[in-house]
A and B are shown apart, each in its own frame.
Chain A
């Protein structure tokens, strides 16, 4: 099996920018998934905030081997660059028939950064069925800045993803994504291992940019979602333009003239001259 990190394409990164997450279904080997439950049962060691990955997860450790899977390593490097630090890690457990779900929330304070983002890795060692209450994810919500669980009153939004997946699935999420652990209505304990990463380098053109100017990128960045309101949903496109400008280092990038139009101030330019 190849150990070379599989970098994302521009279209895949654009999809992440629009959706706020990237799914890697069933990519973790069966024996690793079987090992995971024992690792979780033994308990995770504490990792101080901001610890470099090699120090947080020594060579050969379970987490390190998970992160070294070529698809995982390549996706993380494409989004975060080399040498990200570990913010924290945690095993989320949803007990059988526990009766309630988490409120919809973002793992974030009001985070106003436009030139950086954290990535959260969620790993599911078991098959997750609809009854087991997989993670609820709202596509395209990550750039709509809110304060943690202030979105709790939204129980359901059109186009939401109620995650079901095969064992060994990894999902990488922008830190601002609206999500929540759904109610587990099954008789099976459900585990999800989460690692949050902070970037340590500028997040600019870190992926395979060979397809940067292809129509697929534009198609991803202009994608709408069923829960977007007619008017305010448009602002998501503007948010994406800003993020894509930052990620590509191209301050002139635009979609259908939207950002250029509202920045056009001839009088201000004249006064600077």
Chain B
């Protein structure tokens, strides 16, 4: 079902060097709700912005940033319960990482943004 008058979202995900929004972008992903483009895995070598704040300055609206959970032993994985493509209600970590994954991934802060 389509709604011609509905504004479509473009979603940009930036993974940052530290938990600070003005830190360096180390990873990125895009999803285009207009269907005009088809971003996908491995489609660019340079991020669209150098930092999280640079995206804010360009008009992207932050609507969620990852909660940082401290790593501790015995953390067990459970399958993610919601799709990460559900934009504004996405989970912060996409599921519970293992202890090892948690040690190594948890500080990848992310910004979920959409266009103004």
Binding site for B on A (CB under 8 A): 99-104, 110, 112, 133, 136, 144-147, 150, 152-158, 160, 162, 180, 182-183, 226-232, 235-236
In Å, the complex CA distance between A133 and B42 comes to 9
Within 8 A of A (CB), among B28-67: 28-30, 38-45, 47
CB-based contact A232/B105 at 8 Å: yes
**Between-chain CB contacts (< 8 Å), 25 pairs:** A99-B38, A102-B41, A110-B98, A144-B101, A144-B104, A145-B100, A155-B39, A155-B42, A156-B27, A156-B28, A156-B42, A157-B15, A158-B25, A160-B42, A160-B45, A182-B42, A182-B43, A183-B41, A183-B43, A229-B18, A232-B103, A232-B105, A232-B108, A235-B104, A236-B104
Distance from B42 Cβ to chain A, minimum over Cβ atoms (Å):
4
State the CA gap A5–B98 with chains docked (Å).
Answer: 40
Residue of B nearest to A147 (CB): B77
The 10 closest A-B pairs by CB, nearest first: A136-B42, A155-B29, A101-B41, A145-B100, A182-B42, A101-B40, A157-B27, A144-B104, A227-B26, A232-B107
Residues of B within 8 A of A154 (CB): 15, 27, 29
Shortest Cβ distance from A163 into chain B, in angstroms?
10
Give the distance in Å from the alpha carbon of A104 to the alpha carbon of B13 in the complex: 15
CB contacts (< 8 Å) of B80 on chain A: these are 150
Bound-complex Cα distance A144 to B102 (A): 10
Given A99-B38, A180-B41, A153-B101 contact (CB < 8 Å): no
Contacting B42 at CB < 8 Å: which of A144, A146, A162, A228? A162
Nearest A residue (CB) for B109: A229
User: How far in angstroms is the closest Cβ of chain B from A236?
Assistant: 8
Contacts of A155 in B (CB 8 A): 27-30, 39-43
Min CB–CB distance B109 → chain A (angstroms)? 9
C-alpha gap A122/B27 in the complex (Å): 25
A180 to B40, CA, bound (A): 11
Find chain A residues with CB under 8 A from B18 CB.
Answer: 229-231
**B104:A156 contact, CB within 8 angstroms:** no
Q: CB-CB < 8 A to B88: which residues of A?
A: none
Let me know if B84 is at the binding interface, CB within 8 A. Answer: yes
Known: A101-B43, A154-B27, A156-B28. 9 other contacts (CB 8 A): A104-B42, A112-B100, A136-B41, A146-B97, A146-B101, A150-B97, A154-B29, A180-B41, A182-B43
Interchain nearest-CB distance for B66 vs A (Å): 11
* Residue of B with least CB distance to A185: B43
Over the window 79-94 of chain B, the binary record of Cβ atoms lying under 8 Å from chain A Cβ atoms (1 yes, 0 no) is 0100010000000001
With a CB–CB cut-off of 8 A, which chain B residues contact A183?
40-43
- In the bound complex, do residue A145 and residue B101 qualify as a contact, i.e. CB atoms below 8 Å apart? yes
Inter-chain CA distance A147–B40, complex, in Å, is 20
CB of A110 within 8 A of CB of B77, answer: yes
| Contact status A182-B41, CB under 8 Å | yes
B43 near A156 (CB under 8 angstroms)?
Answer: yes
Q: How far is the CA of A161 from the CA of B84 in the complex (A)?
A: 25
Report the separation of the CA atoms of residues A154 and B25 in the bound assembly, to the nearest whole angstrom: 12
Residues of B within 8 A of A110 (CB): 77, 98, 100-101
Q: How far is the CA of A125 from the CA of B49 in the complex (A)?
A: 37
- Among A103, A147, A155, A236, the one with the most B-chain Cβ atoms within 10 Å of its Cβ is A155
A227 proximity list for chain B (CB < 8 A): 26-27
